[in-house]
Amino acid sequence: MTIRPIGIILNGVTGRMGTNQHLVRSILAIIAAGGIKVSDDLVLMPEPILTGRNLAKLRALSELHSTSSSGTLRYTTDLAEALNDPRNLIFFDSSGTLQRGGFVAQAVSAGKAVYCEKPTAVTTSEALRLARLCEQAGVKNGVVQDKLWLPGLRKLQMLKEQGFFGEILSVRGEFGYWVFTGEVADQPAQRPSWNYRKQDGGGIIIDMLCHWRYVIDNLFGEIASLSCLGATHIKRRVDEERRAYDCTADDSAYATFQLTNGVICQFNSSWNVRVRRDDLLTVHVDGTQGSAVAGLRSCRVQHHSSTPKPVWNPDIDSGIDYFGNWNVVPDATTYDNAFKIQWELFIRHVALGEPFRSSLREGAKGVQLAELGLRSWAERRWIDVPPL
């Protein structure tokens, strides 16, 4: 058997998301599983190297996650050196959004395949510039669109392909949870403070509408227009150094999307809600023949034949159990980590030329939707979504 090494530069993964989802649960998990088996004769084996500005953080991360299966986890603060190493074929960026353009340009100049966290930028023009940069240089490129591989959403896609819904009428998404302000020492904020500062690239519209774009595009149809209202509900928070700061970015968004096929989608996103639903994200789909509610992993359905017949009467308690008559969609397969699945697809794309749908141009569509959402909020009106 041939084991083909695939050098991967992991830039800016010392943060929570980069460490947990990309390093530990994706790249190191692939290594621990023995690589990506292509055939009986070929395995693709990631060989990561950590890059960033803080040597102490890189060293600590390497020491913590170097194992017998992965070996000593390489690291360096010299990105140029890592990019010049011919062993490294892929550059992955999980740094701050505002710094991404410079890093991507360096990687493209070095001829590396480029894979990025979303959003790829905070403006559509910059996101398109990065996509064109890769396209013109002929380097393979991609953006993280992890939610497409969540078990709950995969079950929705399966139901749609089976014709379970009949004609889909509407979709309602609810996302969010309570992020502590950090004012109480024993309740530190569970999101980085930059998320709440517009000048640092923060804001829930730029963060979450990028997700809703690819979810809607792939599961329900093309977006024709949108209306979005944002809010900064909590005005002051406390940062990682216990310093109070003013929140300048939106922390909640209430968006409605009209699709070209007539489906209406509504997505609420907030870091200021206390959860009383099945999961941190729920997507409720109603169709002429059936409905479904999916969370991150689970999915429940109610067919037309088992739909109760309510009668409006606010003067007496309803005898209907509205949480009843819903059936759990069973796990038809084993569901792996969503980030890991997409990493494997991108590595196969780079090494073998297999198709990869989540390009930087697709990522630019998400930035476009977020930018139009901000414009809709500012102008308090519906906005058409032009093709990119």
Per-residue pLDDT tens digits for 348-383:
999 999 999 999 999 999 999 999 999 999 999 999
Confidence of residue 71 (pLDDT cuts 50, 70, 90): confident
The pLDDT of 36-46, averaged and rounded, is 97
Q: How would CATH label the architecture of 147-336+368-379?
A: 2-Layer Sandwich (3.30)
The pLDDT of 55-69, averaged and rounded, is 90
Confidence of residue 61 (pLDDT cuts 50, 70, 90): very high
Task: List, by residue range, all CATH 3.30.360.10 domains of the chain.
Answer: 147-336+368-379
Per-residue pLDDT tens digits for 238-291:
999 999 999 999 999 999 999 999 999 999 999 999 999 999 999 999 999 999
* pTM (two decimals): 0.94
pLDDT score for 150: 98
Q: What is the 3-state secondary structure (H, E, C) of the chain?
A: CEEEEEEEEEECCCCHHHHHHHHHHHHHHHHHCCCEEEECCEEEEEEEEEECCCHHHHHHHHHHHCECCCECCEEECCHHHHHHCCCEEEEEECCCHHHHHHHHHHHHHCCCEEEECCCCCCCHHHHHHHHHHHHHHCCCEEECCHHHHCHHHHHHHHHHHCCCCCCEEEEEEEEECECCCCCCCCCCCCCCHHHHCHHHCCCHHHHHHHHHHHHHHHHCCCEEEEEEEEECCCCEEECCCCCEEECCCCCEEEEEEEECCCCEEEEEEECECCCCCCCCEEEEEEECCEEEEECCCCEEEEEHHHCCCCCCCCCCCCCCCCCCCCEECCCCCCCCCHHHHHHHHHHHHHHHCCCCCCCHHHHHHHHHHHHHHHHHHHHCCCEECCCC
pLDDT score for 283: 98
Per-residue pLDDT tens digits for 17-38:
999 999 999 999 999 999 999 9
pLDDT of 337 above 90: yes
Task: List, by residue range, all CATH 3.40.50.720 domains of the chain.
Answer: 2-146+337-358
The pLDDT of 326-345, averaged and rounded, is 96
Per-residue pLDDT tens digits for 115-147:
999 999 999 999 999 999 999 999 999 999 999
pLDDT score for 67: 77
pLDDT of 68 above 90: no
pLDDT score for 56: 96
pLDDT of 309 above 80: yes
The pLDDT of 187-191, averaged and rounded, is 94
The domain over range 2-146+337-358 is classified in CATH as 3.40.50.970 = no
Average pLDDT, the chain: 96
